[in-house]
Chain A
Amino acid sequence: MNESYIYAIAALLPLTSIMLVLQVNPYSALVIRGILGAVAALLYAVLGAPDVALTEALVGTMLAITLYAVAVRSSMVMRLGVLVKEGEDGSRGELMTALRSIVNKRQMRLELVSYVDKEELHTALQDKDIHGTCLREGESYSIVMRLQRLYEMIQTELVSSSAILTYLENSDSQEKH
């Protein structure tokens, strides 16, 4: 084969793969993975393997990206349980912004899970439905974290004086998360 453009197309594949490896944000990496899939399908088709190109486009690009996007979205999250009536006056906003900026630095996101009363909130924490709770106690807020890693992360970085942070020691620690 004396078709010189094949070399140019082949050079695109390492270029995009280096781009993919250098990504920090998982969502950006997924988009770049789609680009890599498109370029790989082009290269395979040009090199005379249309079956491989088709598989790369269907499985490598579409299925893998969709499944990984769902996995990243549901795993890289900190679920914080709050009470519905405490969020109404908007005094919690500042603390939530501080927490959000802490978890966003690690490419995670903060999800507030609303509960009606304290009983439900504690049951959810015991059932490992949420990672922590945030309740108002007088003028300040009390944050209880169930996971040690998250507790250490917030403890070192949260500078707000209106929040008291505690770590919930788990009594039944056979199940590790």
Chain B
Amino acid sequence: MSLLLIAMILVLLIPLYDAWKNDNIWQKMLAFASISTKTAILILFISVLRDDWAIGIVGAIVLTVGNAALMLLANIIKRMNET
């Protein structure tokens, strides 16, 4: 199971590299969406692994809040380009 988690963390590095190297703001937003979903899935996976409900509910909330934050930020950046 530990090996599977290490593999998930390595996959997490791919959008991290993209957010670092790509200068386009929308590509960065895509990387942010990818990372916030991946970290939430990792939290949920670990919660199942440890059979800990407290971590599990935090994972679910992080998954939801990540999406909401992304939508708010995307709206503001979109309006910046309009004016």
Q: Cβ of A158: which chain B residues have Cβ within 8 Å of it?
A: none
Contact A35 B16 (CB under 8 A): yes
Count of interface residues, chain A, beta-carbon cutoff 8 Å: 38
Interface residues on B, range: 35 or more
* A50 vs B12: C-alpha distance when bound (angstroms): 21
Q: Which of B9, B20, B25, B43 contacts A12 (CB 8 A)?
A: B9
Q: Can you name the residue of chain A whose Cβ is closest to the Cβ of B42?
A: A42
Contact B57 A57 (CB under 8 A): no
Q: Does A144 contact B (CB under 8 A)?
A: no
One of A25-33, A89-97, A135-143, A166-174 contacting the partner? A25-33
How many inter-chain contacts with C-beta < 8 Å in the A-B complex?
119
Q: Does A145 contact B (CB under 8 A)?
A: no
Residues of B bordering A, CB below 8 Å: 2, 5-6, 9, 12, 16, 19-20, 23, 25, 28-29, 31-32, 35-36, 39-40, 42-43, 46-47, 54-55, 57-59, 61-62, 65-66, 68-70, 72-73, 76-77, 79-80, 83
* Other A-B pairs beyond A45-B58, A73-B76, 5, CB < 8 Å: A8-B5, A35-B16, A42-B42, A53-B55, A57-B58
